[in-house]
Amino acid sequence: MTISSGIKRRTLFAAGLGLLAAPVVLREKAEAAATGAHNHMDGTPLPEINQFKLGSYKFTVVRDGTSIVEKPYETFGTNQDPETVKALLTTNFLPADKFMNGYSPALIDTGSDVILVDTGFGAGGRARGAGQLAEGLKAAGYSADDVTLVALTHLHGDHIGGLMEGGAAAFKNARYVVGQAEYDFWSDKAREGTPAEGGHKAVLANVVPLAEKTTFIKDGDSVAPGVTAMLASGHSPGHMVFHVESEGKRLVLTGDTANHYILSLLRPDWEVRFDMDKTQAAATRRKVFEMIATEKIAFLGYHMPFPAVGFVERQDGGYRFVPKTYQFDI
C-alpha cells in the first residue's frame, strides 16, 4: 500500500499503534484512518466489528448503524424535569441537547451453532447508513448462510428489519426463536388502528413469514446449549434477554432493557419514551442489572456504546457502566 507523503510522521506513528492495538476493528480500517483510503471502491466506510471469546464461544458484535437524536429529555427521563436530564448528561461529559444511539446485533459461534441475536434495520435502514449487519458478518468471515439460529430479544423494527432481504429470508439456513408473548402481541390484528399498528405491519412483513421455522419460547426455556431465555418485559410485552454461559464464563444479552449507559443505567427508574409499560420496564431494569451487578457478569446491551459490552457496579442508587477492555482477550 502506498502512503501519501503529505501525512505527518506523528499521524503515521499513531496509525501504527492503532494497527497493533485494534482488536478486530479490521486492519484495513486502521489503514484507512491513516491514509484516507477506503476499502470499498464506492468510498463507503468499512463495517465496524468487535470480536472476543467467552469461554469456548466466539462473539462478533456488529455496529449495524448509529443515529443522532435531538432533545434527549424527550426520550429519557420523560417523568423528570428536562433540566434534570440535561444536568445529568452535562455532569457525565455528554451534550445536553442530543445523543447518539447505536444498534449492535451479535453473533455467537458456539462451535455447533452460529447464533445471531437481533438483526438490525436491514435494507430499510441503508439509505441512512444503517443496515450494515450483512457487511459486518462478511468482514468477520461469516455469511448469512452460516447462521443456524436467529434469536430475537423483541420485535421492534431495529431488531427485525434484517430478517428479510429482497422479499426472501435473509438467513435461509436458520431456525428462529421468538418470545411467545411478544409474537402474540405484535401479530394480533387487534393492533390495527392503534399506535402499535406500524410495528404490527413490520412483524407481518418480517416475522410472520418465518413462523413455520420459529420456536416460540417462554421464561427459562433453553435456546441452544449454554443459552437460556429470561423474560424481561416492559420495554415490550414479551421482551427477552439471553443468558449465555461457556466454560464458567457468563454474559447476558440484555436487548433494550436499558437503552442509554447514563440515562437508563444511572437512573433506572426514569421513564423511557419507547418503553410500552414504563412501570414494568423500570422494575425489569432493576431486576436484570441488580443480578448483573451482584453476580459480576458481563452484559451486551443493544444500544450501549459500541462494542456494547461491559459490566455494571452499583452507584448513586443506579448502576455505573464499565465498558470491556482486554479482560476477554487474556
The model's pLDDT over 167-182, given as tens digits with 9 standing for 90+, comes to: 999 999 999 999 999 9
The reply to whether 194 falls in a domain is yes
151 and 13 in a common domain? no
The reply to whether 328 falls in a domain is no
Between 25 and 192, residue with greater pLDDT: 192
**pLDDT single digits (tens) 65-93:** 999 999 999 999 999 999 999 999 999 99
Distance CA 45, CA 83 (A): 37
- What pLDDT was estimated at residue 45? 62
11 and 136 in a common domain? no
161 and 29 in a common domain? no
**pLDDT single digits (tens) 115-139:** 999 999 999 999 999 999 999 999 9
**pLDDT single digits (tens) 275-327:** 999 999 999 999 999 999 999 999 999 999 999 999 999 999 999 999 999 99
**Angle, vertex CA 310, rays to CA 231 and CA 289, nearest 5:** 35
21 and 70 in a common domain? no
119 and 213 in a common domain? yes
- CA-based nearest residue to 265, from 70, 77, 50: 77
The reply to whether 229 falls in a domain is yes
E strand residue ranges, the chain: 49-54, 57-62, 65-70, 98-103, 106-109, 114-117, 149-151, 164-165, 168-169, 175-179, 214-217, 222-224, 227-231, 240-246, 249-255, 298-301, 309-315, 318-323
The reply to whether 330 falls in a domain is no
C-alpha cell at 249: 464464563
CATH of the domain at 79: 3.60.15.10
Distance CA 156, CA 325 (A): 30
**pLDDT single digits (tens) 232-260:** 999 999 999 999 999 999 999 999 999 99
- What pLDDT was estimated at residue 195? 96
- CA-based nearest residue to 309, from 292, 290, 324: 324
Question: What is the SS3 assignment for 304?
Answer: coil
300 and 286 in a common domain? yes
Between 9 and 153, residue with greater pLDDT: 153
The tally of domains found in the chain comes to: 2
Structural domain span for residue 138? 47-323
C-alpha cell at 300: 451486551
176 and 28 in a common domain? no
**pLDDT single digits (tens) 182-228:** 999 999 999 999 999 999 999 999 999 999 999 999 999 999 999 99
C-alpha cell at 69: 437524536
Distance CA 63, CA 303 (A): 10
Maximum Cα–Cα distance across the chain? 65
107 and 61 in a common domain? yes
The reply to whether 70 falls in a domain is yes
171 and 213 in a common domain? yes
| Percent composition of the chain: helix, strand, coil (DSSP 3-state, to 5) | 30, 25, 40
Q: Is 5 a residue whose pLDDT tops 70? A: no
The reply to whether 24 falls in a domain is yes
16 and 130 in a common domain? no
Residue 277 near residue 233 (C-beta atoms within 8 A): yes
Of the three residues 25, 46, 67, the one that is the final residue of a domain is 46
The reply to whether 329 falls in a domain is no
292 and 220 in a common domain? yes
Q: Which long-range contacts (CB under 8 A, 24 or more apart) does 211-218 make?
A: 211/183, 213/174, 213/175, 213/176, 214/175, 214/176, 214/177, 214/178, 214/183, 215/175, 215/176, 215/177, 215/178, 216/178, 216/179, 216/180, 216/183, 217/177, 217/178, 217/179, 217/180, 218/179, 218/180, 218/181
165 and 127 in a common domain? yes
